[in-house]
Amino acid sequence: MGDETRSKFKRICVFCGSNSGNRTVFSDAAFDLGREMVNRRISLIYGGGSVGLMGMISQAVYDGGCHVLGVIPKALVPIEISGETVGEVKVVSDMHERKAVMAEQADAFIALPGGYGTMEEVMEMITWSQLGIHDKPIGLLNVDGYYNSLLELFDKGVHEGFIKPACRHIVISATNANELLAKMELYTPLHKQVAPRQSWEIAEVL
């Protein structure tokens, strides 16, 4: 506990692959992020289950003695689909409710490498920030350049006039968990929200 670092985040939602990827660098990164969260006493919110990188990060945070909340749609609950979930489990009706619960409960969001599911989840949180539904930090853990081409696409979006430069600032990225968390701690939104926070129905994020 001697090297414990204080964090302003109490709960971080981590989106990540339901697969582990083909190289150990990805599982190493999931365990490392879990340890960095434990060092800062940050709880985990994630998609539930033990498949792929989801299982690794949840085990690392749980073993470190921090709270783990798995938010899992009822269709994915069967053990043969998602595996055992460590910690607390909240069963929700569908994917929309899952994301809304995650968005409401978390102080910040991190995407580890993953596939379509991970990309869709983190993109939704980016667009919700742009719209003004939330103003929580969003980090891409760019393990071994996994997200380079996505980050380049965002830069192209700015260059071609589809993403405002201030909105590009919504996406924080770093190659390791320690640096990513440090950058996320310092995040302050630069963009003007499309619509003020109070104008969004509360049901939108509950």
- Which residues of the chain form contacts with ligand AMP (CB under 6 A)? 15, 17-19, 47-49, 51, 76, 81-82, 114-118, 121
Nearest CA to 131 out of 195, 191, 67, 86 is that of 195
Q: Which residue is nearest to ligand AMP (CB)?
A: 117
Q: Which is nearer to ligand AMP, 87 or 189 (CB)?
A: 87
Segment holding 108, helix H or strand E: strand 108-111
Ramachandran bin of 15, using left for φ above 0, alpha for ψ from -120 to 50, beta for the remaining angles: beta
How far apart are the C-alpha atoms of 64 and 69, rounded to whole Å? 14
- Rounded to a whole number of angstroms, the minimum distance from the CB of residue 70 to ligand AMP is 9
Nearer to ligand AMP, 41 or 62 (CB): 62
Measured from the CB atom, is 107 or 121 closer to ligand AMP? 121
Which residues make beta-bridge pairs with 90? 71
- Rounded to an integer, what is the distance from CA 79 to the centroid of its chain? 23
Q: In angstroms, what is the minimal distance from the CB of 118 to ligand AMP?
A: 3
Minimum CB distance to ligand AMP, residue 47 (Å): 4
Tokens coding 5: 């670092």
Residue 76 or 89: the one with the smaller Cβ distance to ligand AMP is 76
